[in-house]
Structures are given as C-alpha cells and as structure tokens.
Amino acid sequence: MELLRHGGVVALPTETVYGLSANAEDELAVRRVFAIKGRPATHPLIVHIAGVEHLGAWAREVPEAARKLAEAFWPGPLTLVLPRTARATDAITGGQDTVALRVPNHPVALEVLRKLGGGLAAPSANRFGKVSPTTAEHVREDLGSDVDFILDGGPCTVGVESTIVDLSSEAPAILRPGGLAAEDVERVLGRKVPVRTSATVRVSGSLESHYAPRAGVVLTEPGQAVARVQELREQGLRVGVLGPASLALPPDVPRFDVPTVPAEAARVLYARLREADAQGHDVLVACLPAESGLGIAVRDRLSRAAAPRG
C-alpha cells in the first residue's frame, strides 16, 4: 500500500488476469508501467476502482446504460469506456477524451483499492504483445525484478481479460470480447451490442498479432484436430496440442488440457499456452471451443495467437 502511494508499481491479482498497477493519479508511476511493459504510450490503460460509487470521479457522464451494467456486473470482468473527467490524465488515456473503468472481482485487489481510496491504472502484467499472466509465477517469469512487488492472489478464476464496452458514443459497442459474455451485456441493455474495433480508439488487444507464444499456432475445430496433427508431423514438425482429453491422439503427441466447455477453456487457456510453449514445439494445434459465452473471447485470443507475426 505504501509502495503504491509513493510511486511504486505492483503486480496485482484480479479475477481475469494479473495487472501491473500504479496509482492512476501519479503520472511518473504510470509512465513506469508503460516502460516496464514496453507498451506504446498511445495505448490507454484501464483504471480500476473500488466500487460503482467512484464512477463519478473518473467519468463526467454516466449514462443509464453504464449504471445498469455496473450494477449488474461489478465487481466483475467488465470494463466501461466513458467520457473522462480531468482526473483521468492523458498519461492514462493516451490523450483520448474517454477513460476505461472497471471494478475487479478479487478480494486482494478490492482490499488494496479500498485502502488506496483512488484508482489504479493497470494493464495486464506481461510484456507488450505476449500472453497475459494468470498466476503470480507467470508475472515473476515475465517481469521479475522490474516490478516493486508481486501480490500473490492465487490463479485467476476467469482467465481471460475483461469485456470492454464503449458507452462513450451513441450506440454501445464491444471493443474487446472477454470474461463477461456478450449475451449477458445484451440481456441487461435489452439490445444487440455489436463488436467494433475502431480505427481511432487504440485497443492493444486489437492488433492482429497479440497474445503470441513463440511457437506457431494452428487453429482447428476439435473434429479435425487429429488429421491436422498428422499432416504437420508428416512435414517433420514437432507438434503439441491444446485440446480436450477426448482427442484420440498418437501417444507420443503431448497434449495440454484445454476443455471444450467455454468457461473452463478460458480459465486455463493462458497457463496451457505458456506450458506448451515452454516445451519448444514448432507448432501448437489449438482446438476452438464453441462460439458462445466465453468461447467468443477464447476464439478471439487464439486467433490473435495464430495471426501472422509482424
């Protein structure tokens, strides 16, 4: 706590992924977050707050839709983009007139936020473009001594980043599918909410290649996995598989357990990508979960991991 009050950068557990947090009102500390991540300064950060009652300090307009979503899903894996107040400085928003806000659903994060009383700017606690951390150990591997302290809150229960909903312009839109299903957002708002990645708003997760392991990634529906593995092995490649136990794979092909049930896949996805990648395979064949609920977010992250590298 003292660390955060005095410009420290602390890795913090949330229900989605671990965050690399700094006092949102300390510009120097926020700049250190960008430096540690290796993230371009134009990519804005999410401000984490202790509860819906802090919304007005950071957002100058809070439309009815934002109230409804906040009341329904906070604390939880939902980020709202709203017109900012002066408290959200250019250092956080990258000069945009909006700010991204969220109340994380993790006892450790909530306790820190309540004690601090303010906001914590926190991107995921990984190097820019790499797989997000879902355990304190992942953070240690990635960032090690670059951070002042790592708070260990155990493995993340959701496992993929928050769903970002833009409520700063007329029609609500999803800027990043994530740990809250789009169906849930639509149910509460009583309308369709399209996924939109705008050219003017920079969402780092929207760069084509992101969440990328070292190995190549090949996507497949579970039914085609065995055939894909065979083809790739015939090309002389070392192949690992991310998929469910039900796959009838040759015994010498390592499999990393990613169930097809979307929420279960989301929870373990990043940890399994890291484990698989650590074994130095040439290619990882990844089975896609069903395209509903958190399956949308898992498919999105896997597609980015499979995208051509720049």
- Among positions 29-88, residues that touch ligand TXA (CB under 6 A) are 43-46, 79, 81
Which residue from 30, 99, 131, 268 is in contact with ligand TXA, where contact means CB under 6 A? 99
**Gyration radius of the chain over CA positions:** 19
Among 23, 93, 96, 124, binds Mg ion (CB under 5 A): 124
Please report how close the Cβ of residue 156 comes to ligand TXA at its closest, in angstroms.
Answer: 9
Query: Could you tell me the CA-to-CA distances from 261 to 22, 218, 226, 289, 293 in Å, in that order?
Result: 35, 20, 19, 7, 10
Side chain identity, residue 159: G
Amino acid 137 reads E
Q: Closest approach of Cβ 255 to Mg ion, in Å?
A: 27
Interaction between residue 93 and ligand TXA (CB under 6 A): yes
CB closer to Mg ion out of 127 and 238: 127
Shortest Cβ 266–ligand TXA spacing (Å): 12
Question: What's the maximum distance between 2 C-alpha atoms anywhere in the chain?
Answer: 59
Q: Is 211 annotated as ligand-binding?
A: yes
Identify the DSSP state of 214: S
Q: Which does residue 22 touch among ligand TXA, Mg ion, none (CB within 5 to 8 A, set by kind)?
A: none
Q: Which does 164 bind (CB under 5 to 8 A by kind): ligand TXA, Mg ion, none?
A: ligand TXA
- Residue 169 Cβ vs ligand TXA, minimum distance, rounded to whole Å: 11
DSSP string, 152-163: ---S-SS-SPPE
Q: Tokens for 37?
A: 């991540």
Q: Which does 210 bind (CB under 5 to 8 A by kind): Mg ion, ligand TXA, none?
A: none
Please list, in sequence order, all residues whose beta carbon lies within 8 angstroms of the beta carbon of residue 171, skipping any fewer than 6 positions away: 194
The residue among 130 and 228 lying less far from ligand TXA, judged by its C-beta, is 130
SS3 labels along 228-246: HHHHHHHCCCCEEEEECCC
- Write down the least CB distance from residue 186 to ligand TXA, Å: 20
Residue 62 pairs with which residues in a beta bridge? none
Q: Is 292 annotated as a binding residue?
A: no
Binding-site residues for L-threonine sit at 16, 48, 102, 122, 162
